[in-house]
Amino acid sequence: MRNNLSMRLWQRGAIALLGVLLAAALPKAALAETVLEKVARTGILTVGTRLDLIPYAYVDDQSQLVGASMDLVNALRGELSTYLGREVTIQVTEIEDFSERIPKLRAGEIDISCDTTFTWERDRKVDFSDSYSISGVRLLVKQDSTLGSAASLANRRVGVLPHTLAAAAIRVV
């Protein structure tokens, strides 16, 4: 009888020890919160963007961050404030290098990234909203021009507005 009791106690102790070892050895479940939960808790929506991306996000002559993306972010702020029943503020994090945006989103350093172009590769890592802009560089040339490809622009002068997507795209070509 004593052996049975000792054996059961030993088994229970072994099971408890195994449970502790497994809990320590296996990665812990993440206690991540959604962006909505984070904004509800803190009252802050952290936005990652560039500050010179005309017409999306740029600093105007009154030193205000404006543009199409900022208009959408401010509309989102208003909707979040109403939904959560508390004031939500926007915290802007400047991210010059586009390659840093997805890692910062995934790490929770920013809640939303403005002006990040959709690609299938990026879509595997983060969720995208519906597009709110279609962009592309167009060149105005004479009707009978032979300019029609990136190669045809080699060693040619092209005029663009500074600090725009067009300027960045032309520079890459």
The DSSP element (H or E) to which 169 belongs, if any, is: helix 165-172
Q: Which is more confidently placed, 107 or 166?
A: 107
Q: What is the pLDDT of residues 114-170, one digit of tens each?
A: 877 777 888 888 888 777 766 666 777 888 888 877 788 788 888 877 766 677 666
CB burial readout 140-162, b (16+ within 10 A) else e: eeeeeeeeeeeeeeeeeeeeeee
Q: What is the pLDDT of residues 70-81, one digit of tens each?
A: 999 999 999 999
Mean model confidence pLDDT for the chain: 78
| Surface-to-core class of residue 31, CB atoms within 10 Å of its CB (0-12 exposed, 13-18 middle, 19+ buried) | exposed
Q: Which two tokens stand for residue 169?
A: 């795209």
Q: Which is more confidently placed, 113 or 138?
A: 113
Q: What is the pLDDT of residues 12-49, one digit of tens each?
A: 544 544 444 344 444 444 457 899 999 999 999 999 99
Contacts of 59 (CB under 8 A, 6+ apart): 51, 52, 65, 66
CB burial readout 74-95, b (16+ within 10 A) else e: eebbeebbeeeeeebebebeeb
Per-residue model confidence (pLDDT) at position 13: 47
Concatenated DSSP letters of 94-127: E---GGGHHHHHHTTS-SEETTPPP-HHHHTTS-
Domains of the chain are: 35-123 (3.40.190.10), 136-173 (no CATH)
Per-residue model confidence (pLDDT) at position 173: 53
Cut 0.75: pTM above it: no
Q: Which is more confidently placed, 161 or 109?
A: 109
Average pLDDT over residues 63-70: 91
